[in-house]
Amino acid sequence: MKEILWHGRGGQGVVLAAQILAEAAYIQGYGGVMSAPTFGPERRGAPVVASTRISREAIRTVAQIEKGDVAVVLDASLLGIVDILGRLKEGGALIVNTPLPPEALGIDGSYDVATVNATDIAVSNRLILGGLPVVNTPMLGAFSRVTGLVTLENIEKGLKRKMPADAARTNFAVVQSACEQTVIQPKEEKTHGTEEPEER
């Protein structure tokens, strides 16, 4: 089973991104998918976490994810505020929306570190909502590129399940751009295989 934690701020669509990934994974044929917000009050701008689980078989656990396989960070400023690495498995993948290259983030510990400027992609595609650039859907593109767990094609189908056709179309454009522009710095010793290790 793969466990993904989405970090962002209230109003950035963290919960929606986690849901779209679950939709896409189910379409791709995973038997078990699950997504959940962090329960409790949400405030615009305050740090928020959501989760997605993807597995071959139906998923029975509903407990909160302790350490995820992947951490997707929609707002780089959270790295200094929220203990993101504390909830990321050793050797897991960290994907951050930032103009900086992976090395510049100064992440120590053996993680795959990937970055993409989702904000820029959204702005240049004029994808702005309530004064905020839409940074959640581009990160789905980065996720696909870094983990290979779900294809862009299935993410597009997932988008269509969660939003009207024209919105799905414009959002898929930024998913593709983010996928292309993502820069990955794999952890030193092991090359990153796309094959999923057999079930624990």
Partner 1 sequence: MEQKSLKKDRNVSALCVPAKGEAGRTGDWRDLKPVIDHTKCIPSVKNRPACYLCWLYCPEGVVKMTIPVEIDMDYCKGCGICAEECPPNAIRMVREGESDG
Partner 2 sequence: MQNNIFKINETEYILPGSRACQGCGLTLAYRYMLKALRENTVLTIPASCLCVLHGLYPITPVTVPCLNTTFASTAASASGIAAGLAAMNKSDITVVAMAGDGSTYDMGIQALSGAAERNTDFIYVCYDNEGYMNTGTQRSSATPMGALTSTTPILTKEHTKKDFVRIMEAHELPYLATTSPSYPIDLYDKFVKAKRIKGTRYMHIYSPCPPGWLFNTKDTIRIGQLAVETGIVVLFEIEDGKFRFTGRSKTLAERGKRQPVVNYVSRQGRFRRMSIEQLNRLQAWVDSRWADYLDRAES
Q: Which stretch binds partner 2 (CB under 8 A): 23-31, 43-51, 167-175, 191-199?
A: 43-51
Three-state DSSP class for residue 4: strand
| Residue 106 interacting entry, from partner 1, partner 2, none, C-beta within 5 to 8 Å by type | none
Give the distance, in angstroms, between the CA of residue 49 and the centroid of all CA atoms in the same chain: 11
The residue among 51, 74, 75 whose CA lies nearest residue 2 is 51
Residue in 56, 58, 66, 81 binding partner 1, rule: CB under 8 A: 81
Shortest CB 140 distance to partner 2, Å: 26
DSSP three-state, residue 22: helix
- Residue 99 lies near partner 2 (rule: CB under 8 A): no
Of positions 1, 59, 105, 132, contacts partner 1 by CB under 8 A: 132
Candidates 44, 56, 169, 190; binder of partner 2 (CB under 8 A) is 44
The b/e string for 98-118 (b: 16+ C-beta within 10 A; e otherwise) is beeebeebebeeebbbbbbbb
Contacts with partner 1, residue ranges (CB under 8 A): 9-10, 43-47, 77, 81, 131-132
